[in-house]
Amino acid sequence: MSEATQAALDARYTSVTVAIRQRLIALVLQAFAVRGSYRDEDADAFVGQILPVVLGAQRQMGSLTDAYLSTMVGDMFGGAAASTGVQIPEAIRGVPPAEVYRRPFVTVWTALSKGTPMPEAIRQGQSRLASITGTDLQLVRTEATRQVLASDSRVQFYRRVLRGSYNCAMCVIASTQRYRKERLMPIHPGCDCGTRPLPAGQDPGQVIEPDLLEAAHDAVAKGTGKTDRGGRLPDYRDIIIDRQHGELGPLMALRRNDFTGPSDIPGR
């Protein structure tokens, strides 16, 4: 497969998966917006309505990722492009999905309890729902990637592939590194980055795109007034670190970010 053909495969995979993401988020937001009210019974009806569609889209995302990566691996190493047959758990976060998709209603209730007007409370619930839905699809891609790469002992390294029109600085910097397949692909909520295996027998070293890394650090320095140039190349770990999130797994975050824990909940 030529570089042009690989690029076309990337483009097609991106196009289809972005369409799945956009359609699913639009569907769940519409279902949320047309609730007559936002009481417990409405939350139950909403979950019962959208959960089969959500889980179906997740299975589709897993199958597409399997086919894409299996084709890429087959071309790089030779042989047929046989799909792995990934198995995507319904509780992709380790939490029952019915519980996860009730959370936008909890957001509405919490906002109302603080005196927030109803339209704004609903908007906050919609924002959380969009984040949950998009993040779950990315978790599915992560799990499918892990299963595909783990199934072939010839694959040792992979890289992150930037997708979409806009990418945050964390993703840009991460895309300049190579990773061992034993590490799950770090994400952050809303991330839409992809994965590509690196060719057989090739370890290009930790930094695979030094020019882009430098440009990203320059942009960070310009925007924040801070950077670390202590070595020959900046140490990307001083800008990007992995934090373990209870449900999402490895999560990319800036050093200043923290996650809410039980001690942050009022009354605990």
Range of the domain at 261: 156-268
Q: Does one domain contain both 145 and 16?
A: yes
Question: What span, in angstroms and rounded, lies between the C-alpha atoms of 26 and 28?
Answer: 6
Of all residues in the chain, the percent with pLDDT exceeding 90 is 40
Taking alpha carbons only, the member of 115, 160, 163 closest to residue 252 is 160
Q: Show which of 98, 123, 155 is a domain's final residue.
A: 155
Residue with tokens 């799945």, as numbered in its chain: 20
What are the tens digits of pLDDT across the range 112-139?
999 999 999 999 999 999 999 999 999 9
DSSP code at position 116: -
- The pTM (predicted TM-score) of the whole model is 0.82
Banded model confidence at residue 103, pLDDT cuts 50, 70, 90: very high
* Last residue within a domain, chosen from 135, 155, 175: 155
- Quick: pLDDT tens for 32-56: 999 889 999 999 999 999 999 999 9
For residue 73, what pLDDT band results from cuts at 50, 70 and 90? confident
The whole-angstrom separation of Cα 248 and Cα 38 is: 27
How many structural domains comprise the chain? 2
What are the φ and ψ backbone dihedral angles of 220, each rounded to 5 degrees? -65, -45
**DSSP states of 129-156 as a string?**
HHHHHHHHHHHHHHHHHHHHHHT-TT--
pLDDT (0 to 100) of residue 230: 44
Same structural domain for residues 34 and 143?
yes
Instruction: Say if residue 234's pLDDT is above 50.
Output: no
pLDDT at 259: 55
Q: Same domain, yes or no, for 164 and 188?
A: yes
Q: Residues 82, 174: one domain?
A: no
- Domain check: are 162 and 131 in the same one? no
